[in-house]
Amino acid sequence: MQILGIETSCDETAAGVVDDGVRVVSNVVASQVEVHASYGGVVPELASREHEVNLVPVVREALAAGGGWANVEALAVTVGPGLQGSLLVGLTFAKAVAYAAGRPLYRVNHLEAHLAALRLLEEPPEPPFVALLATGGHTALYDVAAWGEYRLLGETRDDAVGEAFDKVARLLGLPYPGGPPLERAAAEADPTFDFPRPMARKGLALSFAGLKTAVAVKVKELGAAEAARRRAELAASFQEAAVEVLAIKAARACRRVGRERLAVVGGVAANRRLRERVAAAAAEVYWPPLELCGDNGAMTAAAGFLAAARGEIVAPEADPEPALALG
């Protein structure tokens, strides 16, 4: 059985078809990077409008890449968390299509969808495991006792780590979204600046606002010309501090709940230095393939299977849930 997943929680318009909850049939993502780039971040109203323009072609392409509607038994859509307007576009569209096609529509929590991306691996991690979710909006550690059973172990008290990458990239004059260009810049130098490892010594709570500020202070101290000249060093030093804290916290979480498996998911899980640093955090470490780390429709469809098994149908009157939590 196939599910068509629709994802519009932030600035990617995405649709994907997944077979039996584990095999990707198609995965189409229309990125809005160019629309938001000159603003240095996502402009919610522009994101909603772009979703309206992109949804029909993206869904058509995702269906065409599979076998069309023939094998699609159900739809799944992200109801939250995310931007209210962006969620509303996808949710309204999915309701209409499900109604017209006479198929059930299942509700997807975007955070569970990032975890469900792991189910699309050739060899997915078997629960129980600890999951580090690292995106532009969230940074949290969960104990995954079973699929659908999530316990929040710790989360950021301020900025998400992806948000910190984006803000530091902006400080360094790199384009939005900042994660990928910052990682590329970092690869060209050693982490010579000693930035703080916020809250690393104890507990499972995280914080990235202070680290971002430390970079801002250093940039100011160096002056524009010197900061530009040493941009790669600044990028490498920030990245090293951020991924080291994540690796320390992930390892601590595994020890604390007695898990031997760790999974790292979300847009920031694409970062190679993070992957290197967390590799030793547990006996087995998993991450989704690169194209399933950032927002996409295949992971939404994969989560749709979990929702379907729980009978979580989207009610006709359902509203978006911008602040939806997990666990």
Place of tokens 């196939």: 2
Nearest-CB residue for Zn ion = 295
Residue 221 burial (CB < 10 Å; 0-12/13-18/19+)?
exposed
Looking at beta carbons only, is 74 or 285 nearer to ligand KG4? 285
320 lies in the binding site for ligand KG4 (CB under 6 A): no
Looking at beta carbons only, is 13 or 135 nearer to ligand KG4? 135
Q: Which of 80, 179, 191, 288 binds ligand KG4 (CB under 6 A)?
A: 179
Looking at beta carbons only, is 59 or 185 nearer to ligand KG4? 185
Whether the Cβ atoms of residue 162 and residue 266 lie closer than 8 Å to each other: yes
What are the two backbone dihedrals, phi and then psi, of residue 218, each rounded to the nearest 5 degrees?
-65, -40
E strand or H helix that includes residue 13: strand 12-19
Whether the Cβ atoms of residue 26 and residue 16 lie closer than 8 Å to each other: yes
Min dist. Cβ of residue 156 to Zn ion (A):
15
Binding partner of residue 270 among ligand KG4, Zn ion, none, CB under 5 to 8 Å per kind? ligand KG4
Residue 164 burial (CB < 10 Å; 0-12/13-18/19+)?
buried
Write the binding mask 235 to 274 for ligand KG4: x where contact by CB under 6 A, - elsewhere. Answer: -------------------------------xxx-xx---
181 lies in the binding site for ligand KG4 (CB under 6 A): no
Tokens encoding 140: 């949290």
The strand order across the sheet containing 284-286 reads: 149-155, 139-146, 129-134, 261-265, 284-286
Min dist. Cβ of residue 53 to ligand KG4 (A):
20
Looking at beta carbons only, is 137 or 198 nearer to Zn ion? 137
294 lies in the binding site for ligand KG4 (CB under 6 A): yes
Q: In the window 125-154, what residues touch Zn ion (CB under 5 A)?
A: 135
DSSP assignments along 61-95, one per residue: HHHHHTTTTTTEEEEEEEEESS-HHHHHHHHHHHH
d(CA 127, CA 175): 38
Binding partner of residue 178 among ligand KG4, Zn ion, none, CB under 5 to 8 Å per kind? ligand KG4
Q: Which chain residues interact with ligand KG4 by CB under 6 A?
A: 10, 135-137, 162-163, 165-166, 177-180, 183, 266-268, 270-271, 294-295
Q: Which chain residues interact with Zn ion by CB under 5 A?
A: 135, 295
